[in-house]
Amino acid sequence: MSNNINGKVIVITGASSGLGECTARTLSAKGAIVVLGARRIDRLEKLVHDIESGGGRALAVATDVTDKSQVENLMKAAVDKFGRIDVLLNNAGLMQQSMLESLKVNEWDNMIDINIKGTLYGIAAVLPVMKEQKFGHIINVSSIAGHKVTPAGVIYCATKHAVRVISEGLRSEVKPYNLRTTIISPGAVDTELTNHITEEGVAGQIKQFYDEHALPPSSFASAVEFAITQPENIDINEILFRPTSQE
């Protein structure tokens, strides 16, 4: 298997905006075949159209990562059409920050379902494929929030800590199958992520910080590209980056 991106089949969840979309555009421009999952199929189809217009190859599959069967269907679509999966970028995520005492329990559920269970469903659906192939790379998206706990960020931080724990555990188990696992932990990056915060004071503070400090999504795409392009005997365990001005 080549170490380069060219010709690799890369499944990306949460590809309809932000980090996932930018990474799909970046990697497909370098020759990757990208299989795109998210709920907003109109956005995915526009992305496929853009990629194909530039001579690339892409497939859109409507996917809600909280539904195990839809995630299985995403991986099956990739294998049926392109014959294998070289990389899974488990990227779909939701951030709804609020103080615990506000008791926004439905939002806690949403984050647990998307960030933790969605990541696990991705692993569950791709692992049998990669074990049989005896190659593959699973990249899970955590966060600076996976390294610390902030007021109003408790549940989001908990989900991103969980992603790191799951990824570390996965690495220790998949060595016999020649699989690589990487955690990408970004700080503030300019995407739609902050749009889902419903607690007004918290939303205002976070949006102001993002307006002043957030990095472009290309910073994330570069990190993914770095992990993927390493020689097959190098497993980049984690890439942690943030704006220079972020604590």
Q: Which of 121, 156, 177, 210 is catalytic?
A: 156
- Would you say 125 or 193 has its CB closer to ligand NDP? 193
Helices (H), the chain: 18-29, 41-53, 68-82, 105-111, 118-133, 154-174, 200-213, 218-229
Query: Which of 98-113 are b and which e, b meaning 16 or more Cβ less than 10 Å from the residue's Cβ?
Result: beeeeebeebbebbbb
Q: How far is the CB of 143 from ligand NDP (least distance, A)?
A: 3
Residue 5: CB minimum distance to ligand NDP, A: 20
Please provide the DSSP assignment of 5-21 as one string: STT-EEEEESTTSHHHH
- Rule CB under 6 A: is residue 63 a binding residue for ligand NDP? yes
Q: Binding to ligand NDP by residue 95, rule CB under 6 A?
A: yes
| 193 touching ligand NDP, by CB under 6 A | yes
Q: How far apart are CA 171 and CA 227, in angstroms?
A: 15
Among 1, 3, 40, 198, interactor with ligand NDP by CB under 6 A: 40
Does 76 bind ligand NDP (CB under 6 A)? Our answer is no
- Select the span of 46-54, 99-107, 182-190, 227-235 touching ligand NDP (CB under 6 A): 182-190
CA-based angle 26:241:209, to the nearest 5? 95
Q: Is residue 61 involved in binding ligand NDP (CB under 6 A)?
A: no
Q: Total number of residues binding ligand NDP (CB under 6 A)?
A: 29
Site membership for ligand NDP, residue 98 (CB under 6 A): no
Question: CA–CA separation, 20 vs 214, rounded Å?
Answer: 16
Check residue 122 for interaction with ligand NDP (CB under 6 A): no
Under DSSP, the state recorded for 100 is G
CB of 17 to ligand NDP, least distance (A): 4
* Residue 28 near ligand NDP by CB under 6 A: no
Tell me whether residue 121 is one of the annotated catalytic residues: no
Q: If binding is defined by CB under 6 A, does position 206 make contact with ligand NDP?
A: no
Query: Contacting ligand NDP (CB under 6 A), which of 35, 141, 155, 174?
Result: 141
Q: Do residues 19 and 45 lie in contact, with contact meaning Cβ atoms separated by under 8 Å?
A: no
Residues 6+ apart with CB under 8 A from 106: none
192 SS3 class? coil
DSSP H or E segment with residue 34: strand 33-38
Footprint on this chain of ligand NDP (rule: CB under 6 A):
13-20, 38-40, 63-66, 91-95, 114, 141, 143, 186, 188-189, 191-193
- The catalytic site residues sit at 156
